[in-house]
């Protein structure tokens, strides 16, 4: 009996502790993403603005190694025109070579080049960020529990830290980060970019756009996948009905 | 069966005389006498065959693009996702296909357990099945290592480290497995080789499994023998071909739901982070289908003990034909055992849940109890109930309960007319 009540009180304690700690963890915000749901699609304009936020704000610290400039023109993505994308690539320089003189040389990036990384290597990235490496953002939306909701919330989650909380040097208080601390400073500020399409660059707008862009980068075939999936499932449902009735007919004369 | 089968075409006759493939097909697929009372739990055998073939075909194409090198593997999988034509589809089919495979195999095993399909004369079918399950576990584990994400790497590290629990030679064996002093390219390459090989071994075992099945024929929900040459059986085609295909299509709809609309829901987000030997993930969790066994592993405070228990949890299945002492196959007619059957299923699901939680505090205690109960079921409850239970009376034949139901209906109709 004693043991039983021990276990019981332990259970109650557990329950209490989990609820107590739950208040410390902030569930990410859940904006209505256009790409959610079985028929969801990316908004082209959001993706295009998102690319602008990425290049003008994030790209000074974060690489996106898995993407090429040509991806910016592909169906289901930002769908920039070829010329636009060529011009965007040409803003970056990449090392190429060796040439006939056995020398490496710099040239403007072209569509088939990968997104140019801000760092020569991981060490350089760390040195510039007080030891923390800004992770590659190519698949970041799939690499975090909470996905787009989490990334969006994180970008907007910077606040004045509570007075009783000691925040170490080189880390910033963010209510959505693990332990409320992150080595990335707040980077999204109102009018941090000047949108080429004239949209007002509020914090929420910028966070929405860049997160949408990152969601596409992580899952560039999302629209194709859902489109095909819809047809496949429709086909299979019709087929299953036909099979159901065929099966019924075949078994009609067998008592079972 | 159909010894009297002759092919219709001249070429068929010529061929069949030299290699009786057509006769084999006619006997084992078309005419194969099957109990007429099989329910939908019997469709998972066909579904499993589909799963295996799907894994092999998608896997073969993935292997054409995949690079088994610690520095390149992660990027090669992303290359498949982004640049290979329908590569995303192949990979999502393969990754979710593994999960669907395990859903099907667990239901298939639960069916066999409920209806006593492991009992005389079907012991070998069941034991071959246990070996298939074992190979599936090995295959899926090694496959999960291939994309070389954080969970791949740390899962491989945790599991290969288990071998270090072997007394005296543990460390040497572990290093031999790794081909190195740590988990790296050498291990990845051999896992890829084995991952490629094992499905074909499974395929071979599946043939033996079906061969062994076709000697006594199918068990059935009543768990009684069919009367040879009676109304108890129907030819496999078209009755069960169509029924199995219908069930398969429903299964594929669910499969497609995962693949096209939530392809990553069964995976772990950490596996989209490239493997990093210097950074341990907060929680190392295996794929969902391993969770019950993972819970058993962690329930034991000693590493070697944990490994032994985990292996025993699967090995014990092979002895079930002799641990079950009841003369009656189907749990339909075993009122007492049936309750413990469901208790075992609940216990297994509970273990699965515990496997996903950190093994501390109350979870560890419940995990130990659930582990103990799992073994208790097979070692104690199963043999004991066979002796003390009074089974319900069995029908005389498969057709009997069917007919009496019909008779009942006829009676009701007669009464209504009167
Ligand atoms: C019993 C059948 C099989 C099972 C259960 C299985 C399971 C798995 C699993 C769980 C993964 C990891 C998926 C991921 O998270 O990305 C995987 C990956 C892989 N498998 Fe298989 N597999 C099977 C058969 C095969 C066969 C026959 C081949 C080759 C002929 C193959 C080739 C591959 C390759 C190249 C990968 C790495 C690509 C990737 O990660 O998507 N598999 N497998």
pTM: 0.92
Give domain status of residue A211, yes or no. Answer: yes
In a 13 Å sphere around the CA of B276, the CA atoms on its Cβ side amount to 13
User: Is residue B29 a contact partner of residue B236, using CB atoms and an 8 Å limit?
Assistant: yes
Best CA proximity match to B36, nearest among B320, B349, B403, B374 = B403
Residue A118 domain-assigned (yes or no):
yes
Mean pLDDT of B364-379: 98
How confident is residue A22, by pLDDT bands cut at 50, 70 and 90?
A: very low
Confidence band of B409 (pLDDT split at 50, 70, 90): low
Tokens describing residue B119: 């009992």
Other beta carbons within 10 Å of B390: 7
**Of the candidates B388, B380, B387, which has an alpha carbon nearest to the alpha carbon of residue B325?**
B387
In a domain, A179, yes or no: yes
pLDDT of residue B230: 81
For residue B376, give the 3-state DSSP assignment.
Answer: helix
Residue A255's pLDDT band (boundaries 50, 70, 90)? confident
DSSP symbols for chain A = -HHHHHHHHHHHHHHHHHHHHHTTSPPPP----TT-STT----HHHHHHHHHHHHHTGGGT---TT-BGGGGGSTTTT---HHHHHHHHHTSEEEE---TTS--EEEE--TTSBPPPS-SSHHHHHHHTTTPPPPP-TTTTTSSTTHHHHHHHHHH-B-PPPTTPPPPTT-EEBTTSGGGEESSPP---TTSS--TT-----HHHHHHHHHHHHHHHH-TTHHHHHHHHHHHHHHHHHHHHHHHHHHHHHTTTS--
CB-neighbour burial class of residue A219 (10 A; exposed 0-12, middle 13-18, buried 19+): buried
Query: Which residues touch A251 (CB under 8 Å, ≥6 apart)?
Result: B239, B243
Beta carbons of B272 and A139 less than 8 angstroms apart: yes
pLDDT digits (tens, 9 = 90+) for A210-232: 999 999 999 999 999 999 999 99
Which residue, by CA, sits nearest to atom 33 of ligand 1?
B59
**Mean pLDDT of all residues in B215-240:** 93
Task: State mean pLDDT over B13-29.
Answer: 96
Pocket test for ligand 1, best of B68, B195, B199 (most atoms within 8 A of CB): B195
Question: Does A1 reside within a domain?
Answer: no
Mean of all residue pLDDT scores within chain B: 95
B41-to-B22, B47, B250, B322 alpha-carbon distances in Å: 29, 11, 13, 24
- Whether the per-residue pLDDT at B237 is higher than 60: the answer is yes
Asked if B88's CB is within 8 angstroms of A221's CB, the reply is yes
Whether residue A10 is contained in a domain is answered as no
Confidence band, pLDDT 50/70/90 cuts, at residue B35: very high
Cβ contact, residue pair B252, A236, below 8 Å: yes
Contacts 24+ apart (CB under 8 A), A80-86: A80/A48, A80/A51, A82/A111, A85/A111, A86/A110, A86/A111
pLDDT at B406: 63
Site from A13, A141, A227, A240 to mutate, B interface, most B CB atoms within 10 angstroms: A240
The yes-or-no verdict on residue B253 having pLDDT over 60 is yes
Scan for tokens 């860049």, then name that residue.
A210
Whether pLDDT at B411 is above 70? no
Ligand 1 close to Cβ of residue B91 (< 6 A): yes
Distance CA(B164)–CA(A186), nearest Å, equals 46
Q: What whole-number distance in Å separates Cα of residue B65 and Cα of residue B44?
A: 31
d(C-alpha B215, C-alpha B125), whole Å: 10
Angle ∠(B253,B64,B199) on CA atoms, nearest 5:
60
Residue B1 has pLDDT above 50, yes or no: no
A12 pLDDT higher than 60: no
**Spatial separation of the C-alpha atoms in residues B143 and B156, rounded to whole Å:** 10
Mean pLDDT of A144-162: 96
Report the pLDDT averaged over residues B18-46: 96
pLDDT of residue A23: 41
Q: For the residues A164-174, what does the mean pLDDT come to?
A: 90
CA–CA separation, B334 and B399 (whole Å): 20
Residues A47-94 have pLDDT tens digits of 999 999 999 999 999 999 999 999 999 999 999 999 999 999 999 999
How far B351 CA sits from the closest chain A CA (Å)? 18
Say yes or no: CB of residue B196 within 6 Å of ligand 1.
yes
Give percent of chain B with pLDDT exceeding 70.
95
| Chain-chain contact of B272 with A232 (C-beta, under 8 angstroms) | no
On chain B, the residues whose CB falls within 8 A of the CB of A142 are: 264, 269, 272
Domain assignment of residue A45, yes or no: yes
Cβ of B249 within 8 Å of Cβ of A143? The answer is: no
Q: Are B271 and B147 in contact (CB under 8 A)?
A: yes
> pLDDT digits over B186-227, tens only?
999 999 999 999 999 999 999 999 999 999 999 999 999 998
- Collapse the DSSP code of B234 into the 3-class scheme (helix H, G, I; strand E, B; otherwise coil) and give the result: strand
Q: How confident is the model at residue A251 (pLDDT cuts 50, 70, 90)?
A: very high
Residue B235's DSSP bridge partners are B33
Express each pLDDT in B113-148 by its tens digit: 999 999 999 999 999 999 999 999 999 999 999 999
Query: Per-residue pLDDT averaged across B262-276, rounded?
Result: 97
In this prediction, residues B171-187 reach a mean pLDDT of 96
Yes or no, beta carbons of A255 and B406 under 8 Å apart: yes
Nearest atom, ligand 1, residue B287 CA = 10
CA–CA gap between residue A204 and residue A144 (Å, rounded): 20
Chain A residue with the nearest C-alpha to that of B79: A66
Omega before B121 within 30 of 0, i.e. cis: yes
Residues 19-38 of chain B whose Cβ lies under 8 A from any Cβ of chain A: 36-37
The whole-number average pLDDT for the span B260-284 is 96
- Portion 239-298 of B in contact with A at CB < 8 A: 239, 242-243, 245-246, 249-250, 252-253, 256-257, 259-261, 263-264, 269-270, 272-273
Q: Are B304 and B167 in contact (CB under 8 A)?
A: yes
The alpha carbon of residue B291 is apart from the nearest alpha carbon of chain A, in Å, by 19
In this prediction, residue B400 has a pLDDT band, given cuts at 50, 70 and 90, of confident
Take residue B187 and report the two structure tokens written for it. Answer: 């291990």
First to last CA, chain B: 46
For residue A243, tell me if it sits in a domain.
Answer: no
pLDDT given at position A196: 95
Of the residues A15, A40, A71, A247, the best mutation for testing chain B's interface (the one with the most B CB atoms within 10 Å of its CB) is: A247
Residue B371 has pLDDT above 90, yes or no: yes
Residues of A in contact with B89 (CB under 8 A): 225, 228
Average confidence (pLDDT) over A162-179? 91
**Alpha-carbon distance A246 to B242, whole Å?**
7
Contact residues, chain A to chain B, C-beta under 8 Å: 7, 10-11, 14, 38, 65-66, 71, 135, 138-139, 142-145, 147, 218, 220-221, 225-226, 228-230, 232-233, 236-237, 239-240, 243-244, 246-247, 250-251, 254-256
Average pLDDT across chain A, whole number:
91
**Domain residue limits at A167:** 23-238
Nearest Cα to Cα of residue B94 among B271, B308, B255, B202? B255
- Inspect the interface and report whether the beta carbons of B260 and A239 lie closer than 8 Å: no
For residue B259, pLDDT beyond 70: yes
Cα–Cα dist A60/A193, whole Å: 14
- Alpha carbons within 13 A on the beta-carbon side of A191: 0
- Give B399's pLDDT tier (boundaries 50, 70, 90): confident
Asked if the model's pLDDT at residue B2 lies above 50, the reply is: no
Averaged over B300-316, what is the pLDDT? Answer: 96
Which CATH number is A42's domain given?
1.10.760.10
Residue A244 belongs to a domain? no
Structure ipTM = 0.91
Q: Say yes or no: B88 contacts chain A, CB-CB below 8 A.
A: yes
Q: Indicate the number of domains in chain A.
A: 1
Report CA-CA distances (Å) from B10 to A166, B14, B17, B57: 89, 6, 11, 33
Q: How far is A113 from chain B (nearest CA, A)?
A: 14
- Per-position DSSP letters for B260-277, written without gaps between them: HH-TTTTS-GGGGSBP-T
* Chain A contact for B234 (CB, 8 A cutoff): yes
* Burial grade of B116 (CB within 10 A; 0-12, 13-18, 19 or more): buried
Assess whether the C-beta atom of B195 lies below 6 angstroms from ligand 1: yes
- Whole-number Å distance, alpha carbon B78 to ligand 1 midpoint, is 15
């Amino acid at each position: 009996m004693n043991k039983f009540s021990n276990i019981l009180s332990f259970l109650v304690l557990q329950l209490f502790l989990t609820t107590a700690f739950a208040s410390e963890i902030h569930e990410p915000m859940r904006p209505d993403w256009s790409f959610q749901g079985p028929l969801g699609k990316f908004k082209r304009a959001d993706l295009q603005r998102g690319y602008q936020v990425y290049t003008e704000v994030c790209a000074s610290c974060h690489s996106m190694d898995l993407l090429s400039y040509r991806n910016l023109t592909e169906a289901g993505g930002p769908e920039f025109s070829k010329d636009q994308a060529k011009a965007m690539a040409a803003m970056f320089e990449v090392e190429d070579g060796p040439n006939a003189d056995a020398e490496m040389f710099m040239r403007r990036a072209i569509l088939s080049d990968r997104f140019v990384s801000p760092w020569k290597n991981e060490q350089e990235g760390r040195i510039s960020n007080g030891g923390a490496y800004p992770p590659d953002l190519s698949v970041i939306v799939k690499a975090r529990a909470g996905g787009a909701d989490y990334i969006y919330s994180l970008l907007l989650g910077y606040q004045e830290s509570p007075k009783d909380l000691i925040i170490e040097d080189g880390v910033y208080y963010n209510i959505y980060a693990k332990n409320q601390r992150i080595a990335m400073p707040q980077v999204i500020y109102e009018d941090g970019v000047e949108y080429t399409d004239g949209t007002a660059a509020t914090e929420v707008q910028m966070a929405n756009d860049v997160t949408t862009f990152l969601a596409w980068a992580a899952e560039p075939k999302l629209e194709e996948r859902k489109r095909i999936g819809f047809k496949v499932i429709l086909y299979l449902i019709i087929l299953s009905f036909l099979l159901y009735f065929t099966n019924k007919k075949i078994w009609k004369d067998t008592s079972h | 069966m159909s010894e009297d089968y002759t092919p219709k075409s001249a070429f068929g006759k010529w061929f069949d005389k030299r290699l009786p493939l057509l006769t084999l097909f006619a006997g084992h697929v078309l005419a194969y006498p099957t109990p007429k009372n099989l329910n939908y739990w019997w469709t998972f055998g066909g579904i499993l065959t589909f799963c295996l073939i799907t894994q092999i075909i998608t896997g073969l194409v993935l292997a054409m693009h995949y690079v088994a090198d610690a520095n390149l593997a992660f990027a090669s999988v992303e290359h498949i996702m982004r640049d290979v034509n329908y590569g995303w589809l192949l990979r999502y089919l393969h990754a979710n296909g593994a999960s669907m495979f395990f859903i099907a195999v667990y239901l298939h095993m639960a069916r066999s357990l409920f209806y006593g399909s492991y009992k005389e004369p079907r012991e070998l079918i069941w034991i071959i099945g246990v070996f298939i399950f074992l190979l599936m576990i090995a295959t899926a584990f090694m496959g999960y290592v291939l994309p070389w994400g954080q969970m791949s790497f740390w899962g491989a590290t945790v599991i290969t480290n288990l071998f270090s629990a072997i007394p005296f030679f543990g460390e040497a064996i572990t290093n031999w497995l790794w081909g190195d002093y740590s988990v790296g390219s050498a291990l990845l390459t051999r896992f890829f080789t084995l991952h490629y090989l094992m499905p074909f071994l499974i395929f071979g075992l599946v043939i033996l499994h079906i061969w062994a099945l076709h000697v006594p024929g199918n068990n059935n929900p009543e768990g009684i023998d069919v009367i040879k040459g009676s109304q108890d059986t129907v030819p496999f085609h078209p009755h069960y071909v169509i029924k199995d295909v219908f069930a398969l299509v429903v299964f594929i709809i669910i499969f497609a739901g995962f693949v096209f609309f939530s392809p990553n829901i069964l995976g772990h987000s950490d596996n989209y982070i490239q493997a990093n030997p210097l950074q341990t993930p907060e929680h190392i969790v295996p794929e969902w289908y391993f969770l019950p066994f993972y819970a058993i592993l962690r329930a034991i405070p000693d590493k070697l003990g944990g490994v032994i228990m985990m292996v025993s949890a699967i090995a014990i299945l092979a002895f079930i034909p002799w641990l079950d002492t009841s003369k009656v196959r189907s749990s339909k007619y075993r009122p007492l055992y049936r309750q413990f059957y469901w208790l075992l299923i609940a216990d297994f699901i509970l273990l699965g849940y515990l496997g996903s939680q950190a093994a501390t505090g109350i979870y560890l205690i419940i995990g130990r109890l659930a582990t103990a109960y799992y073994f208790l079921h097979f070692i104690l409850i199963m043999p004991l109930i066979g002796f003390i239970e009074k089974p319900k009376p069995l029908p005389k034949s498969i057709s009997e309960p069917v007919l009496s139901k019909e008779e009942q209906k006829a009676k009701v109709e007669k009464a209504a007319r009167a």
